[in-house]
DNA sequence: TTGTATGCGTTATCAT
DNA sequence: ATGATAACGCATACAA
């Protein structure tokens, strides 16, 4: 059967046909191997031949098909970054930081939101496995979830945990939440506070564990007995902050200070306070984390635990890349921590 | 010549070797073609054979290599989304919306920040071309930049413009900024304002053109003569808002109302005002866009032009997908607009 | 119904 | 220094 090319009847010149090395080779009058050598700067190509090839490339406007390169190199030069929600400025900022180190090194960063749902995390990890991602940055919802952990394990992909930890099993990068929280509580104690509430989320994560440990240690150090009812640890949502702050302030023995730990929590807490006609620091002192523009322009501006989320992203990327480079040798488990800082503003008063 | 397989001498059982269809086929005792048919659900495969294959797949934990699939199908199932900065909640929200429609359809969304630099936009477009992206969502800095436009053209990739337009040359999706701005200005006029300033950025974009046109039309309709010195149109940065609002309020004839159009602008404008001891709406009325949680919890809360950024992302994705599906037929140019809404709060006073 | 062989766009090995 | 050719992992036209 005569094979007829189904031509689209286009004029000569620019055609819609995808171009390949072959087209370039033909145009330059060389072999495909030579074209490949030129673009990969393999030494030992004649100067004028190289010139001809480059001219042909410019002429046709060809760019090598990365998918084809990858299938040969059995790499994808792609990194997956999984977190709960890109709308959280913390993750957006980390993404930005990571992008800055991956891009120049030829890696494509793919960020994706799991909405904190572990089944979705598993799907995403599997997706990245099918796409043969070279590495993963993981900020998962629950470090102990077995489905997620086995998805990670079976993926066989190099990974680092960001703001999360897998015990001694994986390299992790995080802010010093223990130090940050501890410093905040010490500050509150110095200002005379005894009843300190904490609103936050992230059960099953390093971040919550460290924050809680810091609070407990600080209370113990001051010989204050902690009131478990002042701990509201179930969500990072604004709505949760809105509800819980009102429940806390509605108690017969309300807290005199609240740690509001989570970016999206703050608007909720503030409007909850507004809604019940409570003011800060008049009725209650407030410290939030992370520091945001919102925290700084509220009236009054809010004392905040600050850390550099962009640096976190950069470090995660750099560490992961290093790990990928040494994929053959043992996956040395390390732990990185960046410092936090207490930004004093006007939302804490001495009592 | 005897071909010797270079075996790595590993123990049986789990090896680090990447697995392929061949491994699965061998394990199931069938051919590679059959395995392929099973996973692609090609009809006409014996029920028990299919079962055997599936068992083998589960057994080995194999997932088809998407890169290899793509190189055959000459598709990547990847979409690029280019905008200025993922830290802008507007883009984060659009990304979230788009992700929601691409994911279920098997497309991978890759968002990337250009920092508003056109050379970077060109690089990103070329990058997506090398990666053989199937589609592009573009929110570029300047619609008229020739380098960017020719990068788009030579890419040959299907694309839509989001919050941007290319005259009649490309499909665009955007909010009704004319309507939104017009409504805001009419509201200010009703409240007795005559001197209305506008702080915003985005020269060379649909968004600024529409906002400016709305302001001019509204002023003309009210027989008010516009003061060009009340127009501060050079940046979306918080810092710019901080400076310009102080310059405006420092004039001998300051505006009585300011349109602050740009999410990051608002914190700058508010702290600029705070810095010079001016209050709103006492000293000046304020309307911002887009609506954010920040706008709603400031004291007093700020009247805002609101539109659904997530919907914008969803629509861009849906429209682009449709366009990709019909890539053969003509790239019909359409224009989509979603409504805006004026959220009345307490930052505008009658004068 | 299933197997075999070829091609997708590269790169690398082996000739020349 | 350059060309021919075999992989890479998969899907499909064709053969059986």
Banded model confidence at residue A167, pLDDT cuts 50, 70, 90: confident
Assess whether pLDDT exceeds 90 at residue A16: no
Residue among A61, A70, A113 whose CB faces B154 most closely: A61
User: What is the maximum span of chain A, computed from C-alpha positions, in angstroms?
Assistant: 94
Assess whether pLDDT exceeds 70 at residue B15: no
Selection from B162, B182, B180, B184 nearest residue B171 by Cα: B162
pLDDT digits (tens, 9 = 90+) for B23-72: 999 999 999 999 999 999 999 899 999 999 999 999 999 999 999 999 99
Rounded average pLDDT over B108-119: 97
Query: Residue B124 CB: number of other CB atoms within 10 A?
Result: 24
Selection from B341, B334, B288, B291 nearest residue B315 by Cα: B334
- CB < 8 Å to B111, chain A: 86, 111
SS3 B257: strand
Q: What pLDDT was estimated at residue B167?
A: 86
Assess whether pLDDT exceeds 50 at residue B230: yes
User: CA end-to-end span of chain B, whole Å?
Assistant: 95
B143 CA → C5 C1’, Å? 50
Q: What pLDDT was estimated at residue B163?
A: 98
Tell me the C-alpha distance between B200 and A53, whole Å. Answer: 48
Chain A residue nearest residue B108, CA to CA: A110
- CB < 8 Å to A130, chain B: 63-66
Alpha-carbon distance A309 to nearest alpha carbon in chain B (angstroms): 11
**Strand D: which bases are under 7 Å from protein Cβ?**
1-5, 7-14
Is the CB of B37 within 7 Å of strand C? yes
Query: Residue B220 CB: number of other CB atoms within 10 A?
Result: 11
Average pLDDT, rounded, for chain A:
93
Assess whether pLDDT exceeds 90 at residue A241: yes
Residues 6+ apart with CB under 8 A from A198: A211, A212, A215, A230, A231, A232, A233, A258, A259, A261
Is the CB of A20 within 7 Å of strand C? yes
* Inter-chain touch B86–A86, beta carbons under 8 Å: yes
Q: Closest residue to D12 by CA to C1' distance? A: B33
Q: Which of B12-16, B180-184, B232-236 has the lowest mean pLDDT?
A: B12-16
A21 CA → C11 C1’, Å? 11
Tokens representing A205? 């994560």
A116 CA → D10 C1’, Å? 34
Is the CB of A130 within 7 Å of strand D? no
SS3 B305: strand
Banded model confidence at residue B16, pLDDT cuts 50, 70, 90: low
Is the CB of A40 within 7 Å of strand D? no
Rounded average pLDDT over A317-330: 90
Q: What pLDDT was estimated at residue A8?
A: 34
B40 CA → D16 C1’, Å? 23
Residue among B87, B267, B270 whose CB faces A89 most closely: B87
Query: Residue A104 CB: number of other CB atoms within 10 A?
Result: 8
Place of tokens 């090398």: B130
Q: What pLDDT was estimated at residue A6?
A: 32
Rounded average pLDDT over A232-246: 97
Q: What pLDDT was estimated at residue A137?
A: 98
Banded model confidence at residue B350, pLDDT cuts 50, 70, 90: very high
Chain B residue nearest residue A294, CA to CA: B294
Rounded average pLDDT over A276-297: 96
Banded model confidence at residue A11, pLDDT cuts 50, 70, 90: very low
Q: What pLDDT was estimated at residue A144?
A: 96
pLDDT digits (tens, 9 = 90+) for A177-230: 999 999 999 999 999 999 999 999 999 999 999 999 999 999 999 999 889 999
Q: What pLDDT was estimated at residue A124?
A: 97
Nucleotide nearest to A45 (CA to C1'): D1
Provide the β-strand partners of residue B286.
B258
Average pLDDT, rounded, for chain B:
93
Tokens representing B275? 């810095």
Assess whether pLDDT exceeds 90 at residue A13: no
Is the CB of B2 within 7 Å of strand C? no
Tell me the C-alpha distance between B223 and A114, whole Å. Answer: 53
Q: What pLDDT was estimated at residue A3?
A: 30
User: CA end-to-end span of chain A, whole Å?
Assistant: 94
Alpha-carbon distance A210 to nearest alpha carbon in chain B (angstroms): 27
Rounded average pLDDT over B88-114: 97
Chain A residue nearest residue B85, CA to CA: A96
Task: Write phi, then psi, for B78 (nearest 5 degrees).
Answer: -130, 140
Tell me the C-alpha distance between B203 and B240, whole Å. Answer: 14
Segments in B131-237 forming alpha helices (H): 146-155, 177-190, 206-221
- CB < 8 Å to B270, chain A: 297
pTM: 0.93
Tell me the C-alpha distance between A323 and A331, whole Å. Answer: 7
Query: Residue A309 CB: number of other CB atoms within 10 A?
Result: 25
pLDDT digits (tens, 9 = 90+) for B130-152: 999 999 999 999 999 999 999 99
- CB < 8 Å to B126, chain A: 63
């Amino acid at each position: 059967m005569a094979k007829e090319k189904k031509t689209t009847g286009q004029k000569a010149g620019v055609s819609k046909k995808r171009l390949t090395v072959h087209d370039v080779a033909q145009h330059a009058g060389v072999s495909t191997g030579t074209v490949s050598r030129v673009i990969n700067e393999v030494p030992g190509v004649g100067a004028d031949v190289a010139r001809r090839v480059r001219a042909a490339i410019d002429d046709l406007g060809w760019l090598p098909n990365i998918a084809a390169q990858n299938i040969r190199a059995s790499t994808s030069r792609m990194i997956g970054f999984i977190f709960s929600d890109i709308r959280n400025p913390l993750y957006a900022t980390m993404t930005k930081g990571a992008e800055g180190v991956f891009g120049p090194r030829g890696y494509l960063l793919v960020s994706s939101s799991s909405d904190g749902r572990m089944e979705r995390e598993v799907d995403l990890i599997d997706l990245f496995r099918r796409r043969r991602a070279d590495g993963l940055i993981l900020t998962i919802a629950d470090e102990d979830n077995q489905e997620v952990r086995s998805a990670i394990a079976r993926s066989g992909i190099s990974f680092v945990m960001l703001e999360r930890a897998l015990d001694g099993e994986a390299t992790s990068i995080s802010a010093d939440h223990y130090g940050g929280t501890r410093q905040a509580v010490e500050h509150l104690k110095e200002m005379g506070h005894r009843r300190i509430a904490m609103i936050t989320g992230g059960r099953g994560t390093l971040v919550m564990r460290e924050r809680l440990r810091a609070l407990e240690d600080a209370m113990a150090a001051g010989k204050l007995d902690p009131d478990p009812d002042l701990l509201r640890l179930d969500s990072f949502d604004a709505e949760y902050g809105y509800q819980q702050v009102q429940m806390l302030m509605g108690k017969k023995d309300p807290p005199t200070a609240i740690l509001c730990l989570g970016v999206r929590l703050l608007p909720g807490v503030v409007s909850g306070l507004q809604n019940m006609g409570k003011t800060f620091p008049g009725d209650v002192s407030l410290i939030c984390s992370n520091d945001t523009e919102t925290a700084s322009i509220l009236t009054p501006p809010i004392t905040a635990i600050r850390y550099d989320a962009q640096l976190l992203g950069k470090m995660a990327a750099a560490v992961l890349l290093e790990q990928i480079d040494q994929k053959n040798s043992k996956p040395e488990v390390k732990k990185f921590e960046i410092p936090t800082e207490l930004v004093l503003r006007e939302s804490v008063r001495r009592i």
